Amino acid sequence: MPAPSQSARRTIDRILSGATPAEVAKALQPRLPSESPLAPNLPSSTDYSADGLRVRRQLLHGQGIRIRHLADGDADPETLAGHTENFVGFARVPVGVVGPLRVNGTAAKGDFYVPLATTEGALIASYHRGAYVISHSGGASVLCLTESVGRSPCFVFETVMQACQFVAWALPQVDSLQRQVSETSRHCRLSDVKTSIIGKEAYLLFEFTTGDAAGQNMVTFAAEAICRRLVEGSPVTPRRWYLEANMSGDKKATVGSFAFARGKKVVAEVTVPRRLLRRFIHAEPSELMDYWEVSVLGAVQSGAIGAQGHYANALAALFIACGQDAACVSEASVGLTRMDLTDAGDLYVAVTLPNVIVGTVGGGTSFPTARECLEMIGCYGDGRARKLAEIAAATALAGEISIIGALAAGDFGKAHQTYARKAKRR
Amino acid sequence: MPAPSQSARRTIDRILSGATPAEVAKALQPRLPSESPLAPNLPSSTDYSADGLRVRRQLLHGQGIRIRHLADGDADPETLAGHTENFVGFARVPVGVVGPLRVNGTAAKGDFYVPLATTEGALIASYHRGAYVISHSGGASVLCLTESVGRSPCFVFETVMQACQFVAWALPQVDSLQRQVSETSRHCRLSDVKTSIIGKEAYLLFEFTTGDAAGQNMVTFAAEAICRRLVEGSPVTPRRWYLEANMSGDKKATVGSFAFARGKKVVAEVTVPRRLLRRFIHAEPSELMDYWEVSVLGAVQSGAIGAQGHYANALAALFIACGQDAACVSEASVGLTRMDLTDAGDLYVAVTLPNVIVGTVGGGTSFPTARECLEMIGCYGDGRARKLAEIAAATALAGEISIIGALAAGDFGKAHQTYARKAKRR
Amino acid sequence: MPAPSQSARRTIDRILSGATPAEVAKALQPRLPSESPLAPNLPSSTDYSADGLRVRRQLLHGQGIRIRHLADGDADPETLAGHTENFVGFARVPVGVVGPLRVNGTAAKGDFYVPLATTEGALIASYHRGAYVISHSGGASVLCLTESVGRSPCFVFETVMQACQFVAWALPQVDSLQRQVSETSRHCRLSDVKTSIIGKEAYLLFEFTTGDAAGQNMVTFAAEAICRRLVEGSPVTPRRWYLEANMSGDKKATVGSFAFARGKKVVAEVTVPRRLLRRFIHAEPSELMDYWEVSVLGAVQSGAIGAQGHYANALAALFIACGQDAACVSEASVGLTRMDLTDAGDLYVAVTLPNVIVGTVGGGTSFPTARECLEMIGCYGDGRARKLAEIAAATALAGEISIIGALAAGDFGKAHQTYARKAKRR
Amino acid sequence: MPAPSQSARRTIDRILSGATPAEVAKALQPRLPSESPLAPNLPSSTDYSADGLRVRRQLLHGQGIRIRHLADGDADPETLAGHTENFVGFARVPVGVVGPLRVNGTAAKGDFYVPLATTEGALIASYHRGAYVISHSGGASVLCLTESVGRSPCFVFETVMQACQFVAWALPQVDSLQRQVSETSRHCRLSDVKTSIIGKEAYLLFEFTTGDAAGQNMVTFAAEAICRRLVEGSPVTPRRWYLEANMSGDKKATVGSFAFARGKKVVAEVTVPRRLLRRFIHAEPSELMDYWEVSVLGAVQSGAIGAQGHYANALAALFIACGQDAACVSEASVGLTRMDLTDAGDLYVAVTLPNVIVGTVGGGTSFPTARECLEMIGCYGDGRARKLAEIAAATALAGEISIIGALAAGDFGKAHQTYARKAKRR
């Protein structure tokens, strides 16, 4: 959709800012290294030794770049092997703690202090308030419903009939493909295969479970093994095939995630007594309901996927603290917040997140502060991934109660002002 | 959309895992603090002194939670005031550097070492490869087209006619509201007001510019000042009004962002010579084109917004490194990647990101490592926000070239295996 | 998504058209049948005998409605020239009548018998029931808010900078382009131009008003005249350009239509007294509310655009009867249905349809039966298009009340069985 | 979004129905007019005189096609029972014929004259042109992949756990529910049940096959029978339940339809020789490709579902002519158009329509002119619904080739002007 002409005009004015289009165009000209020498290449990119680190830092230093804080209080750079190429140091993100948040789940059970890494003022305070309300309502009931991580290869044929023949031949093979999968990882299991034929292209969607790892690499390797096997054996040979054809929802919000969970699909719910709501949120249950109805229609008009307040705040902060893949906030922040009144006049609130893609082994989980944060909620190591997903959903629930309450009660601006003022006084 | 019955069945089985529904239901029962004592509350939540920090750590320690690494190498906790309530320490995320990435923009101009905070193996190596290709193609041409941050209040009336009367009265006031806005911040400017009437509700969308701050608090305060003023003066009094009715795309991907940019709308493009592509990406321009067509249709089928590969990886890693609001990855990772062949047979690639919401002042920008990372790319402080947005877009472009190239050339799995293997050898 | 402020202002001006808000508000007041007698009810609704037909026709005749062509005989095939190539005869679609439907609009004002062409059993009966409820609640208040028909050409350049230069040059020309537009049609007026730059492509969205024609051909010719003029004069020549690049929402449902109305954007609302609802819909206001909340979340999960029950039924049947372009049901059936409780415990229901693309001149409007159907509701010829749009929206409102009521009350299956049984008995 | 593997297998079985893939592939082979003579062309396409009409009717008569009712007179109003309440007469929509359109499908095989009811000038001429190109390329290869009509009830509980318990109890009952279904109709079969739990609500999606009926009433009655049975037997009683919760895509475009076909999912494809394209479409294959890429990105920006040109035109006109439910154009017009170049430099074009919801028995199919139109394409009565769906898809394909060709060649405005001028001359 295009921008309104008025603002488009402003844009153009600003782009030009007094210069002629030709001058700006010139500024944008490519400058080849042969004509305009390129700054030096970063040496020893994947040398994870202390020597490699020193050489990289030296180069940056020679470019006038200071990295005192990044460098300070380091872990052994060898531990970065396989994780962070071109390593130069550590970013530090302040961690605040929310809780205790009482969670009554199948995997998560207890009162948790949830670590959130963020620099956004009022965020932690808001989640803390929501956690207080949840805990004093008896805690959040949480269920991890499904789990699955997908890869969606595409096989390009010459005709739709070839695509059908391939699918007809491939689907019966699926059960026997588990062996290929197991050879790539002992934690990875193929759980389902779905298909979509669009013209002469056959898209498959492999769904895997990945143990307690987030599993994105795992499913890449497994899917590749399967695809190679299928292509070798197929009676019709695809002209081309691709390991991932952008249908798995990897690193992006999709409507499809309501049909095909990515990671864990989790529901967290709580019934907040009216009395408690009035006291701590300063609003009636019906006031939150009224606001949320208007807000859902706002989301629908904006072309959002699902309808929720700000799951992304909980998930980004938790993911950074706990060594999760923060880029997955794109898909993980999709979901539905639901409110209802009970017969007793209390407020039922539920969040449903279909894409809580988290791991408690592998990825960044063993990095020192990530491990500490995971341990803080008892989620480090094998057998804890569903627990982590449930805590994540309960935290999102806390945030929804707090923000919807603040907007319904007219406290939203005030709350941010209170916390921001502390910053300004400095 | 519902889950297929087969996997739904598996879900249920797993939820129960041998227990009866009644037993699981019991496990999910609320447990009131009066019956089941709640763990101790975290004291001194917003006490930013060393004392406050010590007290919080002591409490956690008493709960058996170790925070050695979080605690180590700390910044002065006073600096967290207004940013991170309930502060307990710093999460450390390893930072790798991509580059040099040559950028030919209106605001960003030069060869940059771009800091990316991530623990995902192969990610930085992939962006580094894309940066190499871009730089050796002469650099990315980048334009920051529009900028705007919105708040979307809603005013609830009794009839559609009242809603119209309000809008009819309010729109002519808009120019005079700039004063209200200025009183809340000297950097905030109201740039446009859009309206949507849905039944008896009048939704407004205020669009602001926020100087070099990401500006989310700024627009909250400004919009509140405007709303209060409008409600006071209006000839028809709304029954209720809300400061934000979920139409501004805050912390969520929306189709609306193609019409109404959130943050900066930036285009980055490069023409990669065929020779270079073959040498470093191991594929022909037409092979990338072929793949990308299939991939766009994959995205469309999945119900994605826009069509791109993995902007989220660049943005999440850059945002964490540079003290940006990582929750905004939700909206910032929406966009369109476009490929075309030139007459000379070279590959044109462009990324268009309508929601690059970044700041170079305020928020987490002044935290020690964030500041260092921003300084690494010359983006700390006033007058740099558009530069940061342009570098972000150029980095996203590097990632698209690399991942689309890898998937087109069949290198995707292999690349991840190479980098993951380093991890496993340890 | 909200509409730009400029067009919002135009909207208000047009709604008022010289009247004061108070006068318009008065026009929209409900008029209860007890005070302002309702036109006679249609007798023998499901009497399918020749007698039943005669009685119904008699009643319409008594209201001054002529139905000679509906009742018999072919039109002269010469009249098809310019409309239906390869003509071989006429399809006959049975027309039933809904009403009287009381409408209190700015353009439509009165009690209408609305002709619906359909073969789907129970459909007309359901709308008839809704019309009864609306009329006995005092009628639907209806406002046509905005009107616009778009064409979205695309100009392909070599670089984003060229695309910007073109846009920068083109936008100031816009005002002078009205002459080009006028040369193609005296009814067509260019009302706005919006832009979207994606990489090296400049998409424009021309918005036109088209008098009382639906105007799709009109805007095609006008846009072509504009584009040719722009391309001739532009300082940068596009490599290629296309008259329509699939962004105007022509013949397809798009989220964009919430921001950029296609045809007329119309709101119709009614407050149904609780007593009336219980008697004729057999449900409490709160029961319809409860159902609708669950139904909106169903729509959101399915990836629908907007949230409504079945606008398409009203629009397809009305469009076929009245010689409208039935293919436009695709876009016209997008919208939002909103329910709320009043303080008095009555049910407020509103429908908002942003894409009611209709005409009362041109297209199929002058075909004999179409003309008769249009005349039946006083919508044939110049100056009636907004009236037709308002009646369409009021009819959609009737359908929403009836279907949501049936589903909330558990009558949905039963109702269809009742009407279908009549068919089976034959 | 892909379909679950189980239904994919059913698809394949049905496509093959006892034949080998090779046999089916053979059935789909193009048959060039040079080898297999094409049925005669329709003469005097735009001769609107009585003579022209007579000549066209004569030709059809010579092909064994009867058009008595299309040509004159009213039906007996008694035949409307169960279809059109409040009946007052018949709307007449002029029908033009497109073809011969050569179709090589599994169900549709032959050269068809396709009846389209429309008053939009140039529409039939455009489809006629597309049909000509397809037929002279050897015909469209068409496959009906899946079929299904859904109902999506929702059961509201007090907690998510109750919702899970219900689903856990209900799913194993599904096989035994076929008896309930059969009692409501002997043609209706339950093919799958999918589930989605959102907070305390359990949404089910029942998928049925409905023989050769479009089947919307059929699935309503069947779903109601199932729901009543489930509610009676369930160990947990829902507080409320609804027969349809707006997730089945009934009368609305949804992204979900890519995952869960509504009606028939059909692919139609053709490879158009470059020579033919240049001669009749006046453009190179690469020019159509170039345009279509830009157009897909236009659709994506506008927030459309899928990416296609104007399926709605074909479907609305065919549905009105053939007594189908024209309101279903909303969902049926969703799909994906795909273009590619063959190694020989010819143009491959495919359309994929996941929601071709049509019937050849029931509904309006037995109305006199509808029956004649269905008979014109050999689609009246039992065992013809898939054939009708395949012809619909092939017709949509013709329209895509023609409109994309016109827009790529710059002929779009001109074509409409040519046909519109005929109208103006009158």
Q: What is the pLDDT of residues A123-151, one digit of tens each?
A: 999 999 999 999 999 999 998 888 999 99
Rounded-to-integer distance, Cα D231 and Cα D243, Å:
12
Rounded-to-integer distance, Cα C347 and Cα C232, Å:
57
Of the residues D10, D195, D234, D353, the best mutation for testing chain B's interface (the one with the most B CB atoms within 10 Å of its CB) is: D195
Kindly report the nearest CA distance between residue D5 and chain B, in angstroms: 10
Q: Does A194 sit within 8 Å of D2, measured CB to CB? A: yes
Q: Which residue type occupies D282?
A: H
Of the residues A313, A329, A333, A351, the best mutation for testing chain B's interface (the one with the most B CB atoms within 10 Å of its CB) is: A329
Q: What is the pLDDT of residue A76?
A: 64
Give the chain D residue whose CA is nearest to the CA of B6.
Answer: D194
Q: Which residue of the set B13, B23, B72, B120 is catalytic?
A: B120
Of the residues D11, D262, D267, the best mutation for testing chain A's interface (the one with the most A CB atoms within 10 Å of its CB) is: D267
Q: Does B246 sit within 8 Å of A91, measured CB to CB? A: no
Under the banding of pLDDT at 50, 70 and 90, the label for residue A327 is very high
Kindly report the nearest CA distance between residue A108 and chain D, in angstroms: 15
* Mean pLDDT to the nearest integer, A149-154: 96
Question: pLDDT above 70 covers what percent of chain B?
Answer: 88
* Catalytic-residue membership of D416: yes
Rounded-to-integer distance, Cα B392 and Cα C279, Å:
61
Q: Does A4 sit within 8 Å of C4, measured CB to CB? A: yes
In chain D, which stretches have pLDDT less than 70? 1-17, 25, 27-28, 42, 44-46, 48, 66-80, 419-426
Burial label, D235 (beta-carbon count in 10 A; 0-12, 13-18, 19+): exposed
Q: Does A200 sit within 8 Å of D352, measured CB to CB? A: no
Q: What is the pLDDT of residue C347?
A: 97
Kindly report the nearest CA distance between residue D92 and chain A, in angstroms: 36
Kindly report the nearest CA distance between residue A165 and chain D, in angstroms: 6
Question: Radius of gyration (Cα) for chain A, nearest Å?
Answer: 25
* Mean pLDDT to the nearest integer, C345-354: 97
Cis peptide before C100 (omega within 30 of 0): yes
With a CB cutoff of 8 Å and minimum separation 6, the contacts of B26 are none
Q: Which residue of the set C13, C23, C51, C120 is catalytic?
A: C120
Total CB pairs under 8 A between chain A and B = 612
* Mean pLDDT to the nearest integer, C72-93: 72
User: Chain B contacts of C3, Cβ < 8 Å?
Assistant: 194-196
User: Chain D contacts of A202, Cβ < 8 Å?
Assistant: none
Under the banding of pLDDT at 50, 70 and 90, the label for residue A241 is very high
* Residue from the list B143, B160, B195 with its beta carbon closest to the beta carbon of C5: B195
Q: Is residue C70 over pLDDT 70?
A: no
Least confident interval from A409-423, B291-305, C97-111: A409-423
Total CB pairs under 8 A between chain C and D = 483
Q: Does C165 sit within 8 Å of A2, measured CB to CB? A: no
Give the chain C residue whose CA is nearest to the CA of A4.
Answer: C194
Q: Does D48 sit within 8 Å of C77, measured CB to CB? A: yes
The continuous run of DSSP H or E covering C203 comes out as strand C201-209
Six token digits for residue A80: 């970065």
Total CB pairs under 8 A between chain A and D = 141
* Catalytic-residue membership of A325: yes
Question: pLDDT above 70 covers what percent of chain A?
Answer: 88
Under the banding of pLDDT at 50, 70 and 90, the label for residue A1 is very low
Which of residues C120 and A51 earns the better pLDDT score?
C120
Q: What is the pLDDT of residue D425?
A: 40
Q: Does A194 sit within 8 Å of D8, measured CB to CB? A: yes
Under the banding of pLDDT at 50, 70 and 90, the label for residue C425 is very low
Backbone dihedral region for residue A362 (phi beyond 0: left; psi -120 to 50: alpha; all else: beta):
left
Q: Is residue A171 over pLDDT 70?
A: yes
Of the residues D155, D160, D161, D341, the best mutation for testing chain B's interface (the one with the most B CB atoms within 10 Å of its CB) is: D161
Q: Is residue C6 over pLDDT 80?
A: no
pLDDT tens digits, one per residue of A245-273: 999 999 999 999 998 879 999 999 999 99
Under the banding of pLDDT at 50, 70 and 90, the label for residue A12 is low
Q: Using an 8 Å Cβ cutoff, are D77 and C50 in contact? A: yes
Q: Which residue of the set B325, B340, B372, B411 is catalytic?
A: B325
Q: What is the pLDDT of residue C263?
A: 93
pLDDT tens digits, one per residue of B109-168: 888 989 999 999 889 999 999 999 999 999 999 988 889 999 999 999 999 989 998 998
* Residue from the list A87, A135, A298 with its beta carbon closest to the beta carbon of B38: A135
Give the chain A residue whose CA is nearest to the CA of C246.
Answer: A1
Six token digits for residue A232: 């070798």
User: Chain A contacts of C160, Cβ < 8 Å?
Assistant: 28
Q: What is the pLDDT of residue B406?
A: 96
Mean residue pLDDT of chain B comes to 87
Q: Is residue A288 over pLDDT 50?
A: yes
Burial label, B182 (beta-carbon count in 10 A; 0-12, 13-18, 19+): middle
Q: What is the pLDDT of residue C180?
A: 86
With a CB cutoff of 8 Å and minimum separation 6, the contacts of A22 are none
Six token digits for residue B271: 């023409």
Six token digits for residue D413: 């405005």
Q: Does B1 sit within 8 Å of C303, measured CB to CB? A: yes
HEC string of C59-106? Answer: HHHHCCCCCHHHHCCCCCHHHHCCCCCCEEEEEEEEEEEEEEEEEEEC
Q: Is residue C411 over pLDDT 90?
A: no
Q: Does C205 sit within 8 Å of A21, measured CB to CB? A: no
Q: Is residue B1 over pLDDT 50?
A: no
Chains with 3+ CB–CB pairs under 8 A to C are A, B, D
Let me know how many helices (H) and strands (E) chain C has, helices first.
15, 12
HEC string of D87-137? Answer: EEEEEEEEEEEEEEEEEEECCCEEEEEEEEECCCCCHHHHHHHHHHHHHHC
> What value, to the nearest 5°, has the Cα angle with vertex D122 and ends D280 and C78?
125
Q: Does B167 sit within 8 Å of C12, measured CB to CB? A: yes
* Catalytic-residue membership of C416: yes
Q: Does A247 sit within 8 Å of D1, measured CB to CB? A: yes
Which of residues C89 and D125 earns the better pLDDT score?
D125
Q: What is the pLDDT of residue C168?
A: 85
Q: What is the pLDDT of residue B77?
A: 62
Under the banding of pLDDT at 50, 70 and 90, the label for residue C176 is confident
Q: Which residue of the set D120, D158, D175, D293 is catalytic?
A: D120
User: Chain B contacts of A271, Cβ < 8 Å?
Assistant: 30
User: Chain A contacts of C302, Cβ < 8 Å?
Assistant: 258
Strand pairing report for D306-307 and C240-242: unpaired
Burial label, B73 (beta-carbon count in 10 A; 0-12, 13-18, 19+): middle
User: Chain A contacts of D336, Cβ < 8 Å?
Assistant: 198-199
Query: Tokens 């991939």 correspond to what residue?
Result: B295
